[in-house]
Amino acid sequence: MTTRFRTSFHAALAGTLFAALAAIAASPAQALPLTQPGPDAAQIVGFPGYPANELYEVTFIMIDGRNIVGDRDVLWLEPGRYEITVRSKVRRPPGLDWRNPRSRRDTDYNTIELVVEAGKSYHILQQYVDDREPTRYLTVLHRVYDTP
């Protein structure tokens, strides 16, 4: 191959790949239901946790099976029904210290299904449940309140 042909071929290939990726990124099927803060949006919050009550902070990593770019601890969503996947921020799980080194049997990921309304905030946490096997954490809706 000549250098000129290789350069033209690579430029055409790069242009085709760029166009394909742009089409995928712009397609409505890939769009997340994220929106701007305001009275027409619902807020979900993963902090603060309450370790003394065995309730721990989370970050949001997926909505309806689609990845969120960068883990977030606050999201603003359009009203609707969603399956939210979280990652736990448990730093020192109950029952795990140097005297009791049993392995951690839970998973760092969990999901919760929510129906969110505009003007409301939803506080999502992970709760430690000692008698639940094999996963010891549940993702819970801790409380719902009106967005200020």
Helical spans, DSSP H, in 27-144? none
pLDDT (tens digit per residue) in 56-111: 999 999 999 999 988 799 999 999 999 999 998 886 666 554 444 444 444 546 89
This model's pTM is above 0.95: no
Maximum CA extent, the chain: 70
Choice between 102 and 1, residue whose per-residue pLDDT is larger: 1
Q: Would you say 112 and 84 are in contact if contact means Cβ atoms under 8 Å apart? A: yes
Pair of tokens at residue 136: 């010891």
What are the domain boundaries of the chain?
1-31, 32-146
pLDDT for 93 equals 61
Q: Please tell me the distance from the alpha carbon of residue 17 to that of residue 11, in angstroms, as a whole number.
A: 10
Each residue of 28-57: pLDDT tens digit?
446 888 999 999 999 999 999 998 898 999
CA-closest candidate to residue 129, choices 99, 94, 103: 94
Under the phi-then-psi rule, with left for phi > 0, alpha for psi from -120 to 50, and beta for the rest, what region is 64? left
With 0-12 / 13-18 / 19 or more C-beta atoms within 10 angstroms meaning exposed / middle / buried, residue 138 is middle
